[in-house]
Chains A and B, each alone.
Chain A
């Protein structure tokens, strides 16, 4: 029996965001939030021999920036959590070799950011740990290679396609009071609405985001009005319109709602189709742009619903539909 969980949600009292590090790719740097990120890389290779190694180097940079801000060393952290899009969550696992403290890899596809933050918050809230670092990354070329086609292959992308964001984000959560805290979280159920189209992630994931949002509001007796901003992870232009329509049909008043995939890029001038996707998409927007706004008290409370399509290209070829999940975390500026 659950002692403190309300349905799928939990109110958190003692988890604070202490520091963060954000590294973005070239297109994200040119986008409307380009100036928000700590560092940007201009070349997808980033001086490495393969895209996978470049992604890892990017993540290491994000981790170093995050820890340096608080003058911490790798060994000062109690636990590391990490998530990325690759098979065997390659990027974080291979980076974790360099870490002298325990590591837990979590996989939630593009929802990895919220999932790792929620898991870290649980460890701290329970009083087991004091400082926990979460790391997430995604890289356009590594994701293309694994989930779609070789990067140089001439296949025309469909109009519903999303563009995997390139970036890495590291966040330090701590039990010591800070200006911004994790205030609540809702863990998602895996939802499958029999969607088969791998070129249309927004449509596949919208029901999962809907389910998590409704659970969150119901469990905590809240609505959109309790937040200054509600963002979904990477539903893209099309997916976020579907979600809006679903909510309206369920008589939910939708205000202050946006999607990270639409915020990270300028959809009218950048060639990203329906918008951004990937672990880094929600992480970059949240930690790069929204977190500083909370710290400066420009906003009071936000909800991040990171969505993930848990597909495997092998199962897609076997004609299976796409299971999807969404996890939500609520961040609040401390009085």
Chain B
């Protein structure tokens, strides 16, 4: 049996995924996190009597804290198995990637473990966020100079 034939055979037998169910749960969980974020945001806006822009960092800090705690308690990965992108796309997913990497390498010590591994998974978001923003930023700045 050659490789092409094998791939055909294997594709035929491939277990049906739960794509519709996955999409539904991603939407649901992602949406619910959006609602929670909105609630926290409005709470801070009313509590300190500030604008949405000023309350945003407070909301993000609160959600990050919640995500870190849920990761430590071993709940976040169980939610994520059902929610999929619903839990890795919100900022809570970023906090989960940092916390889980740190927690996982705890056994290798404070520096070689937690310190150097914290950004193992979350680092890519920061790297590409900065690289793309810097590149686009330079282009936009040059255009404004001439524009």
Question: Which residues of A does B touch, CB under 8 Å?
Answer: 49-52, 145, 149-160, 193-194, 203, 206-207, 210, 237-238, 241-242, 245-246, 249-250, 274
Q: Are B15 and A156 interface neighbours, CB within 8 A? A: no
- A87 to chain B minimum Cβ distance, whole angstroms, is 13
Task: Report which of B13, B22, B82, B100 forms a contact with A152, defined as CB distance below 8 A.
Answer: B100
A–B complex contacts, Cβ < 8 Å, 15 sampled = A49-B107, A151-B104, A152-B100, A152-B103, A153-B96, A153-B97, A153-B104, A154-B87, A154-B96, A155-B80, A158-B17, A159-B17, A207-B1, A241-B13, A246-B1
Q: List residues of chain B with CB within 8 A of the CB of A150.
A: 100-101, 103-105, 120-121
Q: List residues of chain A with CB within 8 A of the CB of B97.
A: 153-154
Count of chain B residues near A, Cβ 8 A: 38
Q: List residues of chain B with CB within 8 A of the CB of A52.
A: 107
Known contacts A193-B6, A246-B9, A274-B15; A50 and B80 CB within 8 A of each other: no
Q: List residues of chain A with CB within 8 A of the CB of B77.
A: 151-154
Q: Are A151 and B100 interface neighbours, CB within 8 A? A: yes
Q: List residues of chain B with CB within 8 A of the CB of A49.
A: 107
Q: Are B9 and A145 interface neighbours, CB within 8 A? A: no
- A57 to chain B minimum Cβ distance, whole angstroms, is 14
**CA–CA, A237 and B14, complex, Å:** 10
Known contacts A207-B6, A238-B14, A274-B15; A153 and B101 CB within 8 A of each other: yes
Nearest to B85 among chain A residues (CB) is A156
Q: List residues of chain A with CB within 8 A of the CB of B82.
A: 156
Q: List residues of chain B with CB within 8 A of the CB of A145.
A: 104
Task: Report which of A152, A203, A210, A250 forms a contact with B104, defined as CB distance below 8 A.
Answer: A152
Apart from A153-B97, A154-B83, A156-B22: 7 A-B pairs, beta carbons within 8 A: A152-B76, A152-B104, A155-B88, A156-B85, A158-B17, A160-B14, A246-B6
- B120 to chain A minimum Cβ distance, whole angstroms, is 8
**CA–CA, A55 and B65, complex, Å:** 32
Q: List residues of chain B with CB within 8 A of the CB of A50.
A: 107
Q: Are A156 and B80 interface neighbours, CB within 8 A? A: yes
Q: Are A154 and B88 interface neighbours, CB within 8 A? A: yes
Q: List residues of chain A with CB within 8 A of the CB of B99.
A: 152
Residues of B1-44 contacting chain A, CB below 8 A: 1, 3, 6, 9-10, 13-18, 22
- A132 to chain B minimum Cβ distance, whole angstroms, is 33
Chain A binding surface SS class: loop
Q: List residues of chain B with CB within 8 A of the CB of A241.
A: 13
Question: Which residues of B does A touch, CB under 8 Å?
Answer: 1, 3, 6, 9-10, 13-18, 22, 71-72, 74, 76-77, 79-85, 87-88, 93, 96-97, 99-101, 103-105, 107, 120-121
- A243 to chain B minimum Cβ distance, whole angstroms, is 10
Nearest to B97 among chain A residues (CB) is A153
- A235 to chain B minimum Cβ distance, whole angstroms, is 12
Q: Are A238 and B93 interface neighbours, CB within 8 A? A: no
**CA–CA, A241 and B121, complex, Å:** 35
Nearest to A48 among chain B residues (CB) is B107
**CA–CA, A65 and B83, complex, Å:** 43
Nearest to B71 among chain A residues (CB) is A152
**CA–CA, A248 and B32, complex, Å:** 49
Q: Are A249 and B1 interface neighbours, CB within 8 A? A: yes
- B10 to chain A minimum Cβ distance, whole angstroms, is 5
Task: Report which of A154, A242, A250 forms a contact with B10, defined as CB distance below 8 A.
Answer: A242
- B85 to chain A minimum Cβ distance, whole angstroms, is 8
Nearest to A51 among chain B residues (CB) is B107
**CA–CA, A177 and B17, complex, Å:** 50
**CA–CA, A249 and B76, complex, Å:** 45
Quick one: which of B10, B76, B101 has the most chain A CB within 10 A?
B10
Q: List residues of chain A with CB within 8 A of the CB of B93.
A: 154
Q: Are B79 and A238 interface neighbours, CB within 8 A? A: no
Q: Are B100 and A154 interface neighbours, CB within 8 A? A: yes
**CA–CA, A207 and B1, complex, Å:** 9
Quick one: which of B16, B74, B82, B100 has the most chain A CB within 10 A?
B100
Nearest to B84 among chain A residues (CB) is A156
Q: List residues of chain A with CB within 8 A of the CB of B16.
A: 159
Q: List residues of chain B with CB within 8 A of the CB of A245.
A: 9, 13
Q: Are A159 and B18 interface neighbours, CB within 8 A? A: yes
Q: Are A156 and B81 interface neighbours, CB within 8 A? A: yes
- B107 to chain A minimum Cβ distance, whole angstroms, is 4
